Structure formats: C-alpha cells, structure tokens
Amino acid sequence: MPNGIPLLFSVRTFTPCMESIRFGKYVPPKDDRTPFEKLLPIFLEILTHTSGDVDEALDWMQEVDKEHGLFSAEYTF
C-alpha cells in the first residue's frame, strides 16, 4: 500500500500474452439481405429523427445517398 492507497491490482501478475492473438485481413460477413431490407432500418431511423415526416425523411435519404451511395442503378428512388 504505497502512500496509504490500496492497490487494486498487482503489476507483477499482469502479463499480456500476444502469442494467442492472430491478426489477418478483415473479411466482412456475407450480407444476403435485399436492398429494401438494407435500407429500411436507415429510413426508419431517419423517420424517427424527422418526427414521422415522410417527405422530409425521403429528402434526407436522398442526401445520405449522395454522401454514401446507398442506391444502385437497379435500386433507386
């Protein structure tokens, strides 16, 4: 107990072991959802932020599409 403060852990017993950690290229999981199933949660979140105003939510969806390319040539507004 240095300076009257109790130790919560002992530095001597903490030994990180890097041998058990393997690093590799990140492979995202396969996403089998349809474009509608991918966009619906985003639209519902925006709809919540616009207090249920569908027109405003759709306008925001278009803005988000401009920034992040949500839609494809086959699936657009």
Give the model confidence (pLDDT) of 1-58 as tens digits.
555 655 555 555 555 655 677 888 999 899 999 999 999 999 999 999 999 999 999 9
Residue 65 CB contacts under 8 Å (≥ 6 apart), including other chains: 71, 77
| Cα 7 to Cα 10: distance, rounded to the nearest angstrom | 7
User: What pLDDT score does 22 carry?
Assistant: 80
Axis-axis angle for helices 35-49, 54-68 (nearest 10): 120
For residue 71, pLDDT beyond 70: yes
User: What pLDDT score does 56 carry?
Assistant: 97
Which DSSP state fits 4?
Answer: G
Name the token pair of 70: 């949500």
User: What pLDDT score does 73 carry?
Assistant: 87
pTM of the model: 0.62
